[in-house]
Amino acid sequence: AKNNYNLVLLAKDRGTPSRNASLAVNVAINPAITGDIKFNYSFTTPENVPRGTVIGSIDITDGRTVSAYTISTGNYDNAFNIQLKGNNGELTAMNNLDRETYIIYSLLIYATTDVDTLIITVEVLVTDLNDNPPKFDVSTLVLAVPENSPIGTLVTTVHCTDLDTDAINRNNILYLQSPGPSLFGIDQAGHLTLTSVPDFESMPSISFDIIASDNQTFTTNLKVNVRIIDAD
């Protein structure tokens, strides 16, 4: 049986002209590592922990003497390192752990011992922190509203998202900055409606901000410019 395989993965789009990209993959089979998974570990860590933070320890206490630990697969962006500490393996963070990029890492780790090579699985769950501001899908809105439109008229609907989970950002709160409330109101679904009847002669235009707050750390402003259309 072969111990080494060279593959080429090809991705091709359906555009005109068609474009493609290739990726060379080398698969090495280690015949010395056989058998079932011996140990399973699960660790939890907040995102954005400093480099070198200890995530957890792999403890081999069955009499084997470990000489080395190696992360084989699942270590995306070299997020972790494992070092031999006594007979144990100390797993540390090496790069930024961003929950919005990876929520769970499933690591396959080999422990080389004086008897054999152990196969160890480690699952690292990255928990969320409030590190992202709310985000509107546009930065500026330019609107037009006919004068004499009735109260309650829906002018537009704004959309706001937050990469952090609802448990962290407590859902975004939308409100209007003065002088917006003199003519408009907004609900938490993003519906911007009239709260008074617009009059071109007294107010031909109005500018204000819609503000999204995560109720903890971040706020984001959406600039709104509204022109009142004169009625004949």
Query: Do both 85 and 152 map to the same domain?
Result: no
117 and 78 together in one domain: yes
Give the separation between CA 120 and CA 86, rounded to whole angstroms: 17
Q: 218 with 203: CB under 8 angstroms? A: no
Summarised one tens digit per residue, pLDDT across range 148-198 is 999 999 999 999 888 887 666 556 789 999 888 899 999 999 999 999 999
Q: Which of 88, 111, 127 is the last residue of a domain?
A: 127
Q: Are residue 38 and residue 99 in the same domain, yes or no?
A: yes
Q: Verify that 122 and 204 share a domain, yes or no.
A: no
Both structure tokens of 67: 């000489």
Residues of the chain with pLDDT under 70: 1-4, 16, 26, 28-37, 166-171
| 57/108 Cα distance (integer angstroms) | 14
Q: What is the pLDDT of residue 35?
A: 47
The Cα 186–Cα 193 span in angstroms is 6
**End-to-end Cα spacing for the chain:** 87
The answer to whether residue 121 is domain-embedded is yes
Residue at 15 is within a domain: no
Distance of CA 146 to the CA centre of its chain: 41
Q: So what's the pLDDT on residue 127?
A: 94
H-only helix segments in 62-193: 166-169
Q: Quick check: is 52 in a domain?
A: yes
Q: Which residue, chain included where needed, has tokens 């002669």? A: 201
pLDDT of residue 151: 97
Tokens read off for 229: 């259309």
Beta strands in the chain (DSSP E): 4-12, 20-28, 39-46, 54-58, 66-73, 80-85, 88-93, 104-113, 117-127, 135-136, 140-146, 154-157, 160-161, 173-176, 184-186, 191-194, 205-213, 219-229
Tell which of 108, 127, 146 closes a domain: 127
The three-point CA angle 217-99-25 to 5° equals 150
CATH of the domain at 168: 2.60.40.60
Q: What is the number of structural domains in the chain?
A: 2
Q: Are 123 and 35 within one domain? A: yes
Question: Residue 93 belongs to what domain range?
Answer: 31-127
| Token pair of 130 as six digits | 């409030």
Residue 76 tokens read as: 């995306």
Domain boundary, last residue among 71, 100, 127? 127
- Per the CB < 8 A criterion, the answer to whether 12 and 18 are in contact is yes
- Residue 138 pLDDT: 94
In a domain, 6, yes or no: no
Residue 13 falls within a domain, yes or no?
Answer: no
Residue 80: the pLDDT is: 97
Q: What are phi and psi of 226, to 5 degrees?
A: -120, 130
21, part of any domain: no
